[in-house]
Amino acid sequence: MASTDVAVFDLDGTLVRGDSLRQFNKWLLRRGRVRHVISFLTSPIFNALMAMRPTHMAGHTMQLWFATFGLSEDGLTTAAEEFAALHAGPDSGNLMSATLNRLSKHLDDGDTVIVATGTLRPLAEALCRQIGLTGVHVLASTLRKRVGGHVPDQHCFAETKVDRLRDAGFSLPIAYAYSDSPSDIPLLRAARHGVVVDPDPRHIRRIQQATGHTCEVLWNQASNP
């Protein structure tokens, strides 16, 4: 699609700290008394489902539906903007400066920059706007309405990130891929130069072995080398 180098960045744990979708869902559930009660009663179920790989997606889907019940598309977009200001604002402490500097350099060099994330498109776009990421493409999970709430439609997670890149017209291999998560091993493998961001010690060996020990490690934490 593009003659320039393509650099793909994960969002959560790579450009901004934390699991933005899970925190967004919890934030929505706390906004009203009824939602708060639902959150209190159902959080053990959601947490148990999301902790197990076979039911991970089902747990996220159920939590999202409860959190967004009664919200229109415009209402969801507005809520995403409000949350993004809290989660990724200048005083949030969640911005990952070393990775954001890399992203800025790619833009300065004329590279095509893509943020590919499993979080929802309205939330991903709101977070990118809040961070000030202009001139980037956003690939994210899409939504559909179901019985008064919203549920995921097309996922952009793990191997489906690579599928979404192909669907958007980007040729493989890409030049650069940045991620903190083992779920993005397919994306890192699809890049000529993979970068693992602030890796968890439990995951770094698995990622390096799966990618042939070729990934660079990029630290945002001052305490790390």
Q: Which of 54, 55, 68 is nearest to 21 (CA)?
A: 68
Structure tokens at 103: 């992203």
The reported pTM is 0.89
Residue 224 domain flag: no
Q: Establish whether the linkage from the previous residue to 173 is cis, with ω within 30° of 0.
A: yes
Name the stretches of the chain with pLDDT < 50: 1-2, 223-225
> CATH number, domain at 50?
3.40.50.1000
Q: Distance (Å, rounded) from C-alpha 177 to C-alpha 172?
A: 12
pLDDT at 127: 98
- Largest Cα–Cα separation, the chain: 52
Residue 114 sits at φ, ψ, to 5 deg, of -125, 135
Residue 145 domain flag: yes
Residue 177 domain flag: yes
Structural domain of residue 199, as residue ranges? 6-218
Q: Distance (Å, rounded) from C-alpha 201 to C-alpha 63?
A: 29
pLDDT at 39: 64
Residue 54 domain flag: yes
pLDDT at 1: 42
Residue 148 domain flag: yes
Asked whether the beta carbons of 19 and 188 are under 8 A apart, the reply is no
Secondary structure (3-state) at 195: strand
Residue 147 domain flag: yes
- pLDDT tens, residue by residue, 137-146: 999 999 998 8
Domain count, the chain: 1
Structure tokens at 223: 């305490």
- pLDDT tens, residue by residue, 101-148: 999 999 999 999 999 999 999 999 999 999 999 999 999 999 998 888
Q: How far apart are the first and last CA of the chain?
A: 37
Residue 70 domain flag: yes
pLDDT at 65: 86
pLDDT at 8: 98
pLDDT at 54: 52
pLDDT at 34: 67
Residue 225 domain flag: no
E-state strands within 79-158: 112-120, 137-141, 143-146, 149-152
